[in-house]
Amino acid sequence: KAGVTQTPRYLIKTRGQQVTLSCSPISGHRSVSWYQQTPGQGLQFLFEYFSETQRNKGNFPGRFSGRQFSNSRSEMNVSTLELGDSALYLCASSWGLAMETQYFGPGTRLLVL
């Protein structure tokens, strides 16, 4: 089985721009979660989707949004980028919700200049 894939792997943007990141879960997995990883804050939960519905949301501003499609693929969008949004964005998928083990993708490294 193919693992979780994320595109693009690297991205450079400037302040004020917007960005869309994509995540394809493991085949059969219906849940997708997104995380922001920075050296200072560690891993922070952004949001979780299951069957196209947002189930949980972290403490991030409204500039961060996401969605999930009927094939379980997910996208996250960050509008009006700030320098502090530079981070590794990780996507993880699991078969279901609750306490299922999550499988992580390689991440998208975003640099905001």
Q: Tell me, by CB under 8 A, how many residues bind other proteins.
A: 20
Q: Which stretch binds other proteins (CB under 8 A): 14-22, 64-72, 73-81, 102-110?
A: 102-110
Nearest to 1, CA basis, from 29, 22, 21, 20: 29
- 2 lies in the site for other proteins, by CB under 8 A: no
* CB 109 to other proteins: min, Å: 10
Q: Which residue is it, tokens 């083990």?
A: 101
Residue nearer to other proteins on the CB measure, 37 or 79: 37
Instruction: Provide φ and ψ at 84, rounded to 5°.
Output: -70, -5
Q: 15 vs 72, 81, 111, CA distance in Å? A: 30, 5, 10
Q: Is 103 in the site for other proteins (CB under 8 A)?
A: yes
CB atoms within 10 A of CB 8: 12
If one asks whether residue 95 binds other proteins (CB under 8 A), the answer comes out as: no
Position 104 contacts other proteins (CB under 8 A):
yes
Largest CA-CA distance found in the chain, in angstroms, rounded: 38
The contact set with other proteins (CB under 8 A) reads 3, 33, 35, 42-43, 45, 48, 56, 58, 90, 92, 98-99, 101-107
